[in-house]
Structure 1
Amino acid sequence: MLYSTTPAHEKRRLFRERLASGELLRFPGAFNPLSARLIERKGFDGVYISGAVLSADLGLPDIGLTTLSEVAGRGGQIARMTDLPAIIDADTGFGEPMNVARTIQTLEDAGLAGTHIEDQINPKRCGHLDGKSVVDEDTAAKRIRAAVDARRDPNFLIMARTDIRAVEGLDAAVDRAKALVDAGADAIFPEAMRTLEEFAAMRAALDVPILANMTEFGKSDLFTTDQLRDVGVNMVIWPVSLLRMAMGAADRALDTLLDEGGLTSRLGEMQHRADLYDLLDYEQYNHFDQGVFNFTVGR
């Protein structure tokens, strides 16, 4: 009922404990607070909040147009809806090192369990598009050091994302990742790895957790959780998958409305009203008002 009863600092502590175990943690991307609750109910390990999803939700491309307040506000709405840890995409940190520091404390206050800061230049672009550019190693390291220095809860995960693989190759990505760990990163997000062997090379070079991005229609093959676990990956995200599924279904539903004048033929594809009310924990609101849940939803 209402929001998560687990405080943010406790979510972070439990998350860091699980991450230290070496198991593979699965983070589907939530596109709104309700989908985060569904992710928890299905038994996943955490919730991912994608910058691409947040910008798309506003009708904008993923090129750094969203603001810190927009990202933190939506991230907080999603994080408070579940007992799972929520990791959020902070792009390049919304500015220079002092801005990165403010970003970290703002995301902590919003109840997030962690974030990642990337080494692209501004304006950034989706990590699986061509034409990316990255900052020099010193600038990238300064972003991470600023993030670490600003952190107040030591369990808030600060992950460094590097996009240099697509620009300069795997060896450069390994070198950049090492430098970012030296700057204080708790984990590494090597973007746009192309093969399992590349993930294995990153794993062999680093002694911190690494994350795999299994986004559809991108540079990476879509590996299974078993494949990623076997090469030592610790976290996997599917950042835009649920949004793509939902928008695909919405597109087909609108076509059906145009063609058939109604949606009777698609009722079997919809979440039933009873399932929605169950996910919302509707009945528990009777604790406050006995007149709230005084009905039966038939199937």
Structure 2
Amino acid sequence: MPDPALRQALATGDFIAAPGVYDLISALIADRMGFNALYVTGYGTVASSLGLPDAGLATYSEMLDRIARIVAMTKTPVIADADTGYGGLLNVRHTVRGYEKAGVTAIQLEDQEFPKKCGHTPHRRVIPTADMVRKIKVASDARSSADFLIIARTDARSGKGLDEAISRGRAYADAGADIVFVESPESEVEMAEIGRMIDKPLLANMVNGGRTPMLSADRLKQLGFAVAIFPAVGFLATAEALTRAYDDLRRHGTTTEAVPMFSFAEFNRLIGFEDVWEFERRYSETE
């Protein structure tokens, strides 16, 4: 079931900051940190599970399988990327029902043409506003709980300009979206304009190295945003750490103290070996 904590946070004005997770290790670590949401990033999930770019290559079934596993193993409310809904209106209904049944709390749907592209890469194209409005209405009608939140994302800024993106955001809000996500504004001035012009909880996408300025939660709240996702922090940090660790091993023939590592004992606790050992102590055969 969706977690009502996110809707309550929006109602009380608590800022929601969600780190990106993309596999069970990243999810288990983030789940212990006390965040009020986790964000299952499509980019990171496709990269980690398929080794491919976020370019519409992952299917609904592949994404749902990974997302459902993350939800089942964590206690924090999950926001999950659902790309374009994986097809037309019937696909959107199927996707919403599947994500909600899996225990996701908020689903992100975007107005790109299929196949979609990562929101901070070039050459994105969007479908007509009216088509996305219908998708949002279908998504809203398909959910069984009001605590299951619909995030409507527009990628119109890069190809059609800020005014078009804001117009779309307002239309998606009117269609029933709980949260509006204008992708890749390119300055604080643009972000402030989005905050002024759209009367709905707003989501900011804080991509390290992306097109949008990296801002603190406090600053984003001042600009009128209610939610921030940090999708790349996990997989970029992991890629850097693995590169350093593997290079250290290659150069020295063993690992050295130059590369800090999680302790093996702590990692065993993270993934639940203590429960396995307790089970074995309790139920092991005795003479």
Q: 251, 268, 279: which one pairs with 1:259?
A: 251
- What TM-score does the superposition give when structure 1 sets the normalisation length? 0.90
CA distance in 2, matches of 1:203, 1:21: 18
Partner of 1:201: 193
2:55–2:115: 8 Å Cα contact kept in structure 1? yes
The correspondence for 2:271, drawn from 259, 280, 293, is 280
Tell me which of 7, 30, 41 is aligned to 1:16: 7
Does 1:170 pair with 2:132?
A: no
- Distance in 1 (CA, whole Å) between partners of 2:239 and 2:140 is 37
Aligned positions, number: 283
Q: Please list every run of 5 or more consecutive structure 2 residues that lacks an aligned counterpart in the other structure.
A: none
Residue 84 of structure 1 aligns with which residue?
Answer: 76
Q: Quick one: distance in 2 between partners of 1:232 and 1:164?
A: 20
Q: Work out whether 1:29 is the aligned partner of 2:37.
A: no
Partner of 1:5: none
Question: 223, 229, 232: which one pairs with 2:215?
Answer: 223
- Cα shift at 1:277: 2.6
Query: What secondary structure, in the 3-state scheme, does the structure 2 residue paired with 1:289 have?
Result: helix
Which residue number in structure 2 is paired with residue 4 of structure 1? none
2:29 corresponds to: 38
Find 2:233's aligned residue among 214, 232, 241. Answer: 241
Contact 1:34 1:81 in 2 (8 A): no
Structure 2 residue 236 is the aligned partner of structure 1 residue 250: no
Amino acid across the alignment from 1:280: I
- State yes or no: 1:107 paired with 2:81: no
For 2:176, the equivalent position in structure 1 comes to 184
Q: Which residue of 2 aligns with 1:70?
A: 62
Could you say what the CA RMSD is over the residues aligned between the two structures, in angstroms?
A: 1.7
Deviates more, 1:272-281 or 1:234-243: 272-281
What is the TM-score when the length of structure 2 is the normalising length? 0.93
Deviations 1:22-77 (A, max 9, x none): 12111001121232222122221110001111110111111101011111110011
Contact 1:141 1:179 in 2 (8 A): yes
> After alignment, is 271-280 or 52-61 more displaced?
271-280
Percent sequence identity over aligned pairs: 36
2:102 and 2:208 mapped to 1: Cα distance? 29
Counterpart CA distance in 2 for 1:257 and 1:288 is: 36
Conservation of the 8 A alpha-carbon contact between 2:9 and 2:15: no
Segments of 5+ residues of structure 1 without an aligned counterpart are 1-7, 294-299
* AA aligned opposite 2:42: G
**Which amino acid in structure 2 is aligned with residue 99 of structure 1?**
N
Give the corresponding residue for 1:270: 261
Partner-residue secondary structure (3-state), 1:123:
coil
